[in-house]
Amino acid sequence: MAIRPRRSALYMPGSNARTLEKAKTLAADVVIFDLEDAVAPEAKDLARDQVMAAVAGGGYGNRELVVRINGLDTPWGLTDLARAAEVAPDAILVPKVSSPSQLITVGQALAPAPEKTRVWAMIETPLAILNLREIAASAEDPVTRLSCFVLGTNDLVKETRAALDENRTAALFWLSAAVTAARAFGIDVLDGVYNAFRDLEGFRRECQQGRQLGMDGKTLIHPDQIAPANEIFSPTEEEVAWARKIIAAFEQPENQGKGAITVDGRMVELLHRQMAQRTVALAEAIAAKS
Ligand code: COA
Ligand code: MG
C-alpha cells in the first residue's frame, strides 16, 4: 500500500516570489503554486514565468508540487497548461471543474507530459456538486489522470449564497458528497481553506471536522496553519497502537480463519484489520518523511 501523506497543502500566490522561496523551508506535504485566484490579471504572465522557473529549479525536497492553472475558458489557461506540462509538476490543479469533459480536454493536452504528472480537480461550483459521481468516475479513464479532489469552499459559498456558521452547516452536504464520490472511485480529497488565518483555535476545529468527514488533509493559505494540519491529519499514537493491536490479534494462532474476534472487549472484524493496516501504513509514510 503506497500512501502519500497529503495532510497540509499550502497555496502560494504565483506572483509572490517570496512565498515561492519560503515554501522550500516549510513542512507542508504539498505546495500549490497558484496562477488563478490569488494572482491579479496584470500579474498573470509574471506569475507563470516565476512558477515554471521554481518548479523546474527544484529545491522543494519531498514536497509534492502542484500547479493551479487558470480555467481553460480564460485567456491564460491553455498557456498555463502547456507550460506546466513542460516542467512536469506532480500534479496540475484544474479550477472550476464541473463535468468530466473538462478533465478529458486537460488530459489530452497533457499527453506529452510524463505519466507522473497527475490531475487534481477543484470542486467549487454547484454543477460540480451535482455531477460529483461522473467527475470522480472519470478517474477510471487513464486519459484524465485524475487523482485528487480539492474543495473550493469560498467559491461554493459565493455561488450558492450560503453562509457558513462555525460548524459549516451549509457546507456539510458538499463536503460529504465529495468525500463519498472520491472514495467510490479511489481518489484523495482535500478540504477547503480557512480564511481567518490568525485564528488557530478555529482552524484546529475545522481541521478536526474535516478529518471526521473523511478528508485526507486541508488546503492552507498561511505557514502558521501547517503544523496544526499535519498534527490533526496524522493518526494519533493511540490510533496507531490500537491498529497494531488489531493486526497482532488476527495473527494469533487461535484467531486464524476467523472473521470476527474480540479485542479489549470490542468486536473487531476483518474490515477493521484493513482499516488498521491503512492507519499503520499512513503513520509509517509520515514517519519516513522526517
Ligand atoms: N506560502 C508561503 N509563505 C507564506 C505564505 C504562503 N501562502 N503566506 C505568508 N507567507 C510568509 C510571508 O512571506 C512571511 O515570510 P517572511 O516573514 O519570511 O518574509 C511569513 O510567511 C509571514 O507572513 P505574514 O506577514 O503573517 O502574512 P502576510 O501578510 O505576508 O500574507 C496573505 C497574508 C493572506 C496575503 C498570505 O498568507 C497569502 O498570500 N496566502 C495565500 C493566498 C492564496 O494563495 N490564495 C489562493 C488560494 S485560496
Ligand atoms: Mg476558486
Which tens digits make up the pLDDT trace of 107-147?
999 999 999 999 999 999 999 999 999 999 999 999 999 99
C-beta 103 within 6 A of ligand 1: no
pTM over 0.95, yes/no: yes
Asked whether the predicted pLDDT for residue 282 surpasses 60, the reply is yes
Give the Cα separation of 136 and 121 in Å (integer): 9
Q: Look over the chain and give the mean of its residue pLDDT values, rounded to a whole number.
A: 97
pLDDT value of residue 167: 97
The most distant pair of C-alpha atoms in the chain lies apart, rounded to whole Å, by 69
**What is the pLDDT at residue 2?**
80
Q: How many CB atoms lie within 10 A of CB 180?
A: 15
Q: Is 221 in the pocket of ligand 1 (CB under 6 A)?
A: yes
Please, which pLDDT band fits residue 42 given cuts at 50, 70 and 90?
very high
Ligand nearest to the CA of 219: 1
Judge contact between 34 and 13, C-beta under 8 A.
yes
Nearest CA to ligand 1 atom 5: 222
Dihedral in degrees, nearest 10, Cα atoms 71, 100, 127, 179: -100
Q: To which residue does cell 485524475 refer?
A: 146
For ligand 1, say whether the CB of 223 is within 6 Å of any of its atoms: yes
C-alpha cell at 283: 503513520
Q: Tens digits of per-residue pLDDT, 77-102?
A: 999 999 999 999 999 999 999 999 99
pLDDT at 1 over 60: no
Q: Are 167 and 209 in contact (CB under 8 A)?
A: yes
- Taking only the tens place, the pLDDT of each residue in 136-182 is 999 999 999 999 999 999 999 999 999 999 999 999 999 999 999 99
* CB distance 109 to ligand 1 below 6 Å: no
User: Residue 290: what pLDDT?
Assistant: 80
The residue ranking higher by pLDDT, 2 or 235, is 235
CA of 265 to the centre of ligand 1 (A): 49
Which atom of ligand 1 lies at the shortest distance from residue 16's CA? Answer: 39
C-alpha cell at 39: 494572482
Q: Is the CB of 35 under 6 A from ligand 1?
A: no
pLDDT at residue 271, as a whole number: 97
Ligand 2 centroid, distance to 197 Cα (angstroms): 17
Residues paired with 190 in a beta bridge: 150, 217
242-269: average pLDDT: 96
According to the model, what pLDDT value does residue 39 have?
Answer: 98
Is pLDDT of 52 > 80?
A: yes
CA 23 / ligand 1 centre spacing (Å): 10
d(CA 84, CA 198): 32
For residue 271, the CA-to-ligand 1 centroid distance in Å is: 42
Mean pLDDT of the 11-22 span: 98
Task: Give the residue-averaged pLDDT of 14-23.
Answer: 98
Tell the residue number behind the cell numbers 470542486, with chain if given. Answer: 123
Average pLDDT over every residue of 20-33: 98
